[in-house]
Amino acid sequence: MLRILDISEARELFTRKSVRLAEAEQTVAPILDDVRRRGDEALIEYARRFDRLELKHVRVSAAGFPENLAPHFLRAIETAANNIRAYAEMQLPREKWTDCGDGRRLGQIVRPLESMGAYIPAGRYPLPSTLLMTVIPAQVAGVRTICVASPNPSVEILGAARWLGVDNVFRIGGAQAIAAMAFGTASVPKVDRIVGPGNIYVAAAKKLLAGEVGIDFVAGPTEIVIIAAEGDARWIAADMLAQAEHDVEASAVLLTTSRHLAERVAAEVARQLETLPTASVAAEAIRANSAAVLVRSLEEAVEASNRLAPEHLALHDPSLLPEIQHAGSVFLGPMSTEAAGDYASGPNHVLPTSGVARIRGGLSSADFVKIISVQALTPDGIAALAPAVTTLARAEGLEAHARSMEVRLG
């Protein structure tokens, strides 16, 4: 079932996956406009139509949150949250100042966004882990108003929200949820940035509203590339299936110099699928979008991976890391399974897909702050800068700029 291809035969795997948004954009555009115009009235209509909302309001009331969490689940979110928080604190930009010694004191201050919205999928797989990954970095950044939208939040999602102290939780999904958080309604606060994964309609709504509201990125199908010359076929197959079970559009690619390893991994994938509860999804993703690809060298594997700019990149040989230019998140060494990163190791699992890793990394606390430049000039500083500033200002025809310098020179 897992194809074994030579690199020369794998062109379709390395052709950039385009997120098929054009049709979805046409579908969601009227929804966005309707929510903009009619607010809660439209939002509740769509929630009843698409999300099976039975109540007259979309906000989860205090009584809607579970009082207690199962002890094993509570221990799990505590472990994950502590690690996610520590990593987000490490990533947070800091205030800095430098005295240049020539009359210039320069610096930067860091200020949090005032509000954010997290979209939490709750369809085939409700994702409390995504709640942790989106909310905790915003809390670390100091965001005051945190909103969560989820079309049918599970007990675990609601319990995790309560544990994190988030009470702005709304039973809304799809494009209408993105519109509500982007525009604001009587029930849903308007936010500065919307983050989190969703289906193609969520992605289309985020794309159409980018600029009106901040977004993280437009996400496509999830993907992993594994580079290994040798290794335990059971582990590699398990990692590929862990990615494939997300979605029939998911992609799992092994780049290897060893045909023997490729054959053993293919056999292991088939064997493990026999007992995998999510095999109906994973098998289709393996069949349609995945392969073991034979390369002539690990250098060729790295080149191919950099062209693809995968969401997840597993390097069984850590010495290859210096050559990696483009990846959403890197997993070093055979023990570093991508599943650990999905839940509890610390780095964020909200990652760029479809080649977007060429221009940015995953979600972080830095996405929820603004870095504001600050400059303080003394008379000596103004005098030193005046020749350059006045010359450049007059070259651009901006005489008042030049005079605002000269008036200070006495």
Active-site residue set: 311-312
- What is the C-alpha separation between 130 and 149, in angstroms, rounded? 12
Dihedral (Cα; 151, 328, 363, 168), 10-degree rounding: 10
- What is the C-alpha separation between 347 and 349, in angstroms, rounded? 7
- What is the C-alpha separation between 319 and 303, in angstroms, rounded? 15
Residue 13 makes CB contacts below 8 A (sequence gap 6+) with 5, 251, 253, 289, 291, 293, 308
Give first-to-last CA distance, the chain, whole Å: 81
Question: Measured at the alpha carbon of residue 198, what is the angle toward residues 81 and 138, in degrees to the nearest 5?
Answer: 35
Residue 64 makes CB contacts below 8 A (sequence gap 6+) with 158, 169
DSSP 8-state assignment for residue 357: G
Distances (CA, A) of 18 to 178, 200, 349: 21, 12, 21
Residue 140 makes CB contacts below 8 A (sequence gap 6+) with 85, 88, 89, 92, 365, 368
**Rg of the chain's alpha carbons, rounded to an integer?**
25
- What is the C-alpha separation between 286 and 279, in angstroms, rounded? 10
- What is the C-alpha separation between 254 and 225, in angstroms, rounded? 6
